Amino acid sequence: MNNDQVLVNVFVIQRYLNDGTTFSTCVKDVVSCNIESKCHINAQCIYNERIDRHVCLCRTGYKGDGITCRHEHSCVENATICSESAACVYDPILQDNICSCREGFVGDGIHCAETLAGPKEQFLIVNQGQSILKVPLTSSGATAGGDHRILYVPRMRAVGISTDCRQQFVYFTDTSGKTIQRMKYDGSEQKIIVEGLGSPEGIAVDWVSRLFFWTDSVLKRLEVASLDGSLRKILLDKNIQNPRGIAVNPELGYVFWADWNRQNPRIERANMDGSERKVLVADKLGLPNGLYYDHHRHELCWGDAQMKTIECVRDDGSNRRVLLTDQTTMIFGLTDGLQYAYWTDWSTNKIGRVDKTPTRTSDSILLPPGGNGKLYGLVAVKDSCPNEVTNVCGDHNDCGTGQLCLPNLSLRAKRICQCGDNAGLQCLLRERPPPPPPPQLG
C-alpha cells in the first residue's frame, strides 16, 4: 500500500486527517477550525498547505489530536514535578491534571509560596478581543508558562470586566454582541445576563449590595442591574457623551465614571441611585479610560490615554496626585492590585504595572499565549473580598419583589428601594405613594 492509499484510508474510514508532516500524527476530521473552532485550549488553528485546510494542532509541550491535548509530562505519571505545597488536580478547562498550590499558598504549582494574611491578588483576568485570559503572577512580574485562555468566542469583543469576589464570578461586556455576560473564574457557567444594549463598555460589581453598574457609549447612559441581570434600571441618561470607565465604593454608596468627551472630558460621581451627581475632575484630562477604587487608600484612580498618566483623587475630588507618567504608554484598562496598579497598554500590547508604594517603580508583564489582538479591560483577582466593607443593602436588604436596593447615605434609611425598569406594573403601583383621601363633604 502506497502513501496516497494510506492517506485515503485514514481520511475516509477513520475520519482523521494527516497533519502533512508525518503519517504517524493525525488530527480529527471536523469542520475546518477557521470556520468553526473546536480546538482544545492548548491547541492552535493552523493552515495546512498539503491538505488545503485549517486544522487543530496541539501546542509545544502537549500531545493529542488537537481536539484534546494533554501535557507531555503529566503530574499523574510523575507527582514529583509539583511543589511540596501543591497537589496534582484535574482542571476541567484544560481537561488535564495540573499542579495546583494548596490552600495558603500561591504560585504555578511547580513553585508555591506561602500567602500573607488578608486579601492578596492571585492572578489577573484580561480581555483580548475574542479571548479572555487568566494571567498568573510571580514576584518578578513574569507569567507562568502555558496557555491560559479561559474563554474564546468568535467575533466577540470583550471590553469591560469586573468580579464578584463573594461567589467568584467574572462579569464582562461584549461590545460586538451588545451583551453583558458572566462566568466563573475558570470560564465555567458562562451565561448572557443582559442583551440588546448599544455599546456596553465599562462594568463594576458592587459585591456587597449584589449589583453591577455599566456604561453604554451608544445609548449614552449609566445603568444598574441585579447580579443575575433579572432587574435593571437606567440611573443617568442626560449630559453623558462618551462614558467608559466605571468604579464603585459600596461602603459610601458611590458610583464613579469617566466620560472622554473630547470637548469636555471629566470624571464624575453620584450616589448609587443616581442622585447628587458631582464632577470630581474636569481639568488636565485628555482621554480618561480605566477607573478603579482603592479601598485601602480611599482613592479613585484613572488612566488617561492622551495625558499618558495614572492619577488618583479622594472620594470628593481632593488630593489629586500622579501615580505614573510614561510618555511611551497608551492606557486602556486599569485595575487595582494590593501593591501594584496594572494597566493594558495599546502601545506595547502588554500589561504594565506600577508599584503603589513611594518607590513608584514600573515594569511590564509578558502576556501568555492564547489571545490575539488589542488588550482591553483587566481585573486583579484576589483571594477574598476587601475587609470590613459593608452597607445597609448588604446587611439588611428589606426591599420588595421587583425592587433594587440602592445605597444612598444621604437618606435617613441609608438606601432607597426602587423598581427595576422591567419589574412590571405591580411593582410600580406599590412604589407610588397612596392617593390623598377624598375631601370631606358637608
Whether residues 39 and 139 fall in one domain = no
Note the pLDDT tens digit of each residue in 214-257.
Answer: 999 999 999 999 999 999 999 999 999 999 999 999 999 999 99
The pLDDT score that the predictor gives to residue 58 is: 84
Whether residues 105 and 238 fall in one domain = no
Find the mean pLDDT for residues 265-281: 97
Whether residues 268 and 340 fall in one domain = yes
Q: Work out the number of other CB atoms within 10 angstroms of the CB of residue 87.
A: 16
Last-in-domain residue among 363, 382, 401: 382
- HSE-CB for 356 with a 13 A CA cutoff: 16
For 12, residues 6+ apart whose C-beta sits below 8 A from its C-beta are: none
Produce one character per residue of 61-77: b if its CB has 16 or more CB atoms within 10 Å, e if not: ebebbbbbbbbeebbee
Question: In this structure, what DSSP letter does residue 431 have?
Answer: H
Indicate the SS3 state at residue 165: coil
Residue 437 in any domain: the answer is no
Indicate the SS3 state at residue 12: helix
Whether residues 178 and 273 fall in one domain = yes
Written as one string, the DSSP assignment of 268-314 is EEEETTS-S-EEEE-SS-S-EEEEEEETTTTEEEEEETTTTEEEEEE
Q: Domain holding 89: CATH number?
A: 2.10.25.10
Note the pLDDT tens digit of each residue in 356-402.
Answer: 865 668 888 888 777 778 999 999 998 888 878 999 999 888 899 99
Return the closest-CA partner of residue 212 out of 198, 195, 233: 233
Q: Name residue 203's beta-bridge partners.
A: 214
Whether residues 186 and 60 fall in one domain = no
What's the CA gap between 136 and 296, in Å, rounded? Answer: 23
Question: Are 279 and 253 in contact, with CB atoms under 8 Å apart?
Answer: no
Whether residues 89 and 138 fall in one domain = no
Last-in-domain residue among 71, 87, 107: 71
What's the CA gap between 126 and 378, in Å, rounded? Answer: 4
Count of helices and strands (H, E) across the chain: 3, 36
Whether residues 77 and 66 fall in one domain = no
Determine the structural domain holding residue 192 and report its residue range.
119-382
What's the CA gap between 38 and 408, in Å, rounded? Answer: 48
Write out the three cell numbers for 104: 495558603
Whether residues 220 and 103 fall in one domain = no
Note the pLDDT tens digit of each residue in 290-330.
Answer: 999 998 888 999 999 999 999 999 999 888 888 999 888 99
Write out the three cell numbers for 32: 475546518
Whether residues 105 and 146 fall in one domain = no
Whether residues 410 and 367 fall in one domain = no
Whether residues 45 and 91 fall in one domain = no
Query: Between these two residues, 195 and 55, which has the higher pLDDT value?
Result: 195
- Angle, alpha carbons 272-129-216 (nearest 5°): 30
Q: Domain holding 243: CATH number?
A: 2.120.10.30
Whether residues 89 and 165 fall in one domain = no
Residue 388 in any domain: the answer is no
Q: Number of folded domains in the chain?
A: 4
